[in-house]
Amino acid sequence: MEVIDCHSHVASSRYIPDEFFDGWVDNILATSGSKDDRHGAALRQVFRKINEDPLCDEYVAQMDEAGIARAVLLIIDFKYVYGEPFDDMVEIYRRHREILERHPGRFICFAGVDPRRGRAGVELLELGIEQYGFSGLKLYPPCGFSPSDERLDPYYEVCAQYQLPVLSHIGPTTPSLSFNFARPEGIDEAARRFPQVKFVLGHAGSTHFRDAAVLAEYRPNVFLDMSGFQAAASRGRFDDLMRFHKENGILNKILFGTDWPIHRLLGAQKKWVDRFKQLCTDGILTQRELANIFGETFRSISPSSIGAA
Ligand SMILES: [Zn+2]
């Protein structure tokens, strides 16, 4: 059974800025009630450390151990919202292409663009697809836009033309960004207007998983990725979540994902793969259902990425 991870990122502060993890630490401290500054400083260091694998060598070693054949690397355009130069994005694309070449056959890359870049953004997406072999579009609406914003239409037209999927982050994120646009229903209008484009709701809707499941059930072109539930699993809430999706009859709309490197503290990649296999052992999933989640469904929505570099 070939495992494809449909949601991950290159671990590097060049791609996931320090502000991102620092915001997470602020929230961990606030929710834990910690008043100890040393605790915060130590946690910041830990998150810096898990975000250091810029060439994906450690990542590939963990994929090998876990039996993950391929993983999607999602580029996020944080540069627009943090006011950094456009040329940085071109450089980020180029470096991702180098990673595809460094580990042949192991990675698939989705281009990330903030739609407020207008025509330059569309050209960046086309550059990624045509020159660098990227196989999809990653959106990060908490940067401050709705995934149904009409400014995204030209981007979706490119995706329709090349038959490429769109994966959008859904759910709360680092506190320096907006949660306003992070709800599943934000995708609804785009999914209706572009029925030929496959939309994947990141983290299966996260805290909004019920609303995400409704879209997956009623919109043929909406899918869910199961990355990011490692913490929920550690609290014993994963089996019920998968039963919920099974009862809704949407297991064929679900994709395996890890969100590497975000949850590295909760265990190696193998631990998350094994957690899905456990669902079979426990009779929650059949082998067929697991095979679909592990890769068959991704192949069906992203045929062009399989066989790419
Ligand atoms: Zn992610």
159-204 pLDDT per residue, tens? 999 999 999 999 999 998 999 999 999 999 999 999 999 999 999 9
Instruction: Kindly give the distance from the C-alpha atom of residue 117 to the centroid of ligand 1, in angstroms, as a whole number.
Output: 21
Q: What is the Rg, in whole angstroms, of the alpha carbon atoms belonging to the chain?
A: 18
Instruction: Kindly give the distance from the C-alpha atom of residue 32 to the centroid of ligand 1, in angstroms, as a whole number.
Output: 24
Q: Any idea which residue has 């009862």 for tokens?
A: 247
Instruction: Kindly give the distance from the C-alpha atom of residue 259 to the centroid of ligand 1, in angstroms, as a whole number.
Output: 5
Alpha-carbon separation of residue 223 from 20, 66, 140, 212, 253 (angstroms): 26, 24, 16, 9, 5
User: CATH top-level class for 3-15+53-301?
Assistant: alpha beta
3-state helix, strand, coil in the chain (%, to 5): 55, 10, 35
For residue 206, pLDDT beyond 60: yes
Residue 306 has a pLDDT of 60
Residue 34 has a pLDDT of 81
Residue 309 has a pLDDT of 42
**pLDDT-above-70 percentage for the chain:** 99
Amino acid at 183: R
pLDDT category at 4 given cuts 50, 70, 90 is: very high
What's the count of helices (H) and strands (E) in the chain, helices before strands?
A: 13, 8
Tell me 8's DSSP state. E
Instruction: Kindly give the distance from the C-alpha atom of residue 278 to the centroid of ligand 1, in angstroms, as a whole number.
Output: 24
Residue 217 has a pLDDT of 98
Tell me 282's DSSP state. T
Torsion of CA 144, 145, 146, 148, to 10 degrees: -170
* Strand ranges (E), the chain: 3-8, 68-74, 107-112, 137-139, 166-168, 199-201, 222-225, 254-255
Instruction: Kindly give the distance from the C-alpha atom of residue 33 to the centroid of ligand 1, in angstroms, as a whole number.
Output: 27
Instruction: Kindly give the distance from the C-alpha atom of residue 282 to the centroid of ligand 1, in angstroms, as a whole number.
Output: 28
Residue 35 has a pLDDT of 78
Instruction: Kindly give the distance from the C-alpha atom of residue 76 to the centroid of ligand 1, in angstroms, as a whole number.
Output: 9
Residues of the chain with CATH 3.20.20.140: 3-15+53-301
Closest CA relative to residue 133, chosen from 73, 189, 174, 83: 73
Residue 151 has a pLDDT of 97
* Averaged pLDDT, 38-53: 92
For residue 150, pLDDT beyond 80: yes
Question: 225-277, pLDDT tens digit by residue?
Answer: 999 999 989 999 999 999 999 999 999 999 999 999 999 999 999 999 999 99
For residue 308, pLDDT beyond 60: no
Residues with CB under 5 A from ligand 1 (ion): 259
Question: 100-143, pLDDT tens digit by residue?
Answer: 999 999 999 999 999 999 999 999 999 999 999 999 999 999 99
Alpha-carbon separation of residue 74 from 138, 238, 261 (angstroms): 6, 24, 12
